[in-house]
Structure 1
Amino acid sequence: MTSVHGEKSNMAEKEDLETLGEKLYSLIYPKHKDTAGKLTGMLLELPCPVLSRMLQDEATLTKAVEKALRALQLDQEPSNLTCKDEDDVSASSDSLGEQLFELVDVYNTGHSQKITGMLLEQHKEAVLNLLSDPKLLEEHVNSALKTLKEQNVEETDISDLSDTDDTEKLGEKLFSLVEELDPLHANDITGMLLEMDPAALQQLLSDNTMLKVAVQKAQAALDT
């Protein structure tokens, strides 16, 4: 009985992926006709919740497609990372870090920078493997996130200070956007929005529609 149930759930998952794939392909094709198939295949390696969010939010989809395009270009470029001199090596390490950060950031963990830093401590070959294997990357991201949560209890005041700096920067960006929507209550609304998760705040900064909705909710709360 269990094996039959398992097969049914696998079939359901395949059907869900096919449906998601068709929807993604139809959205990607108009802008990327030549690579739509490859891009869709790469995005389908991501977890279903992330895919669903892409279908609902054009900004998230565009960001993910850009990352997939960069990864494709990286695969097509001839590998010329053989050590010419130290500058070249450091430059290639920087670009690896940027590519890795962009892929890690898709998971919206709220700790993209820390996780990227942890993953970059591995050998270069291991990092390249992560860039080319989304499932392996997902495992490493989950593992790093677990480690971060375990370490969170032991974190020192220094990390709290850096978190405070990050919150201040987010607050400044958020305030300037909120001020355009509601100059009178910008301070109060920004304060309320800053109580959200950093990942959710980043989404508000990149998606004006979501920001407007959040501001309207805050205005309603202020009116009560």
Structure 2
Amino acid sequence: MEEEEDLETYGEQLYSLIYPKHKENAGKLTGMLLELPCPVLSQILQDEAMLTTAVDKAVIALQLAQDPSKVTCKDEDEVSMSSDSLGEQLFELVDVYNTGYSQKITGMLLEQHQETVLSLLSDPKLLEEQVKSALKTLKEQNEEETDISDLSDVDDSERLGEKLFGLVEQLDPLHANDITGMLLEMDPASLQQLLKDHTMLEVAVQRAQAALDT
């Protein structure tokens, strides 16, 4: 029940922010964003830049859904030339779900026939199903890898923790211990991404700070 109440609150807040710029499609765009997990919605409502990015991506998805011809090619040469842009468009839509695996999931989806990829661009529901399926597969693979190498994982997690602490300490020396502990609950693949991508790390630290403040 609590989650439904949260969604209703988020929906009202999102709608009031989206409506001034997108009067005609405010309802649809709000509905698309409400497909995201609650923690992501909370972060979006606190971060104007994240909100703008998410709305822009939802607008692109909506345009493609309303007019699939924008991504439909007329001849073979155009089809082969458009594969890169297809990948870019698909990545933009997959990234809205904020899974932490946008690149990998996009790659998995692009392995399908081009007609299927085109249908993903024009059908948000189908895209959501395939994103969830790909995410489940990736998580299962990570769990299997963890089971196989439990002993080495102890050493790896210690090294990860040390590296992560050093980076978090630069951003928030006061809460570095608590924040590092919270981030270490993430799966190893996401932690590796945080170590490589400073922007992702900053966002994760901000979320942890918000959780500590509550």
Fold-level similarity (TM above 0.5): yes
1:67 Cα deviation after fit: 0.5
Is the Cα–Cα contact under 8 Å of residues 65 and 121 in structure 2 kept in the other structure? Answer: no
Aligned partners of 1:198, 1:26: CA distance in 2, in Å?
37
Q: Find 1:205's aligned residue among 186, 199, 202.
A: 199
For the pair shown, the structure with the greater C-alpha radius of gyration is 1
Structure 2 residues not aligned, in runs of 5+: 146-166, 172-179, 209-214
Q: What is residue 83 of structure 1 aligned with on the other side? A: 74
Q: Name the SS of the counterpart of 2:36 in structure 1.
A: coil
Q: Deviations over 1:88-141 (max 9, x none)?
A: 113433222112212222333332211111111122333234334444433322
Change (3 A) 1:121 1:50: same
Q: Which amino acid aligns with 1:48?
A: C
Q: 1:146 aligns with which of 124, 136, 139?
A: 136
**CA RMSD of the aligned region, Å?**
4.3
Partner of 2:95: 105
Aligned residue-pair number: 177
Partners of 1:85 and 1:101 lie apart in 2 by 23
CA contact (8 A) 1:21 1:40 kept: yes
Q: Which amino acid aligns with 1:144?
A: A
1:56 is the counterpart of 2:50: no
Unaligned runs of 5+ in 1: 1-8, 155-174, 182-191, 215-224
Instruction: Sort the Cα spacing of 1:213 and 1:89 in 2 relative to 1 into closer, same or farther, 3 A.
Output: closer
CA distance in 1, matches of 2:48, 2:93: 17
* Residue 25 (structure 1) shift: 1.1
Return the TM-score normalized by structure 1: 0.58
Over the matched positions of the two proteins, sequence identity in percent amounts to 69
Aligned mates of 1:101, 1:93 — CA distance in 2: 12
Which residue is 1:158 aligned to?
Answer: none
